[in-house]
Amino acid sequence: MNEYEPEILILEDTDGVETHFEVMLETQYNTKTYVVLLPAIEQAEEYLILRKNIEGDYEGIADENELNAVFKKFLEEFNEQSDEKE
């Protein structure tokens, strides 16, 4: 039986503080790549969604419609993956 090994992404804020995130999903939406992250701490409940730019760096999403659409896609894909595991 294989143990689950989450993919961890470490982001650094403007003050140099590092935060570890578990990569929940990387997905394509409207030809752009997005990553859905969950803070890698016990009982984290808020997701972080970032867009990958052409340099491969991650950036926040200011457009609420874009953010909601990507989160909806994440939920659909996450639910499909959960159904496949059952």
pTM: predicted TM-score of the whole model, two decimal places: 0.77
Chain segment 9-60, per-residue pLDDT in tens: 998 888 999 989 999 889 999 999 999 998 887 777 788 999 999 998 899 9
Three-state SS string over the chain comes to: CCCCCCCEEEEECCCCCEEEEEEEEEEEECCEEEEEEEECCCCCCCCEEEEECCCCCEECCCCHHHHHHHHHHHHHHHHHHHHHHC
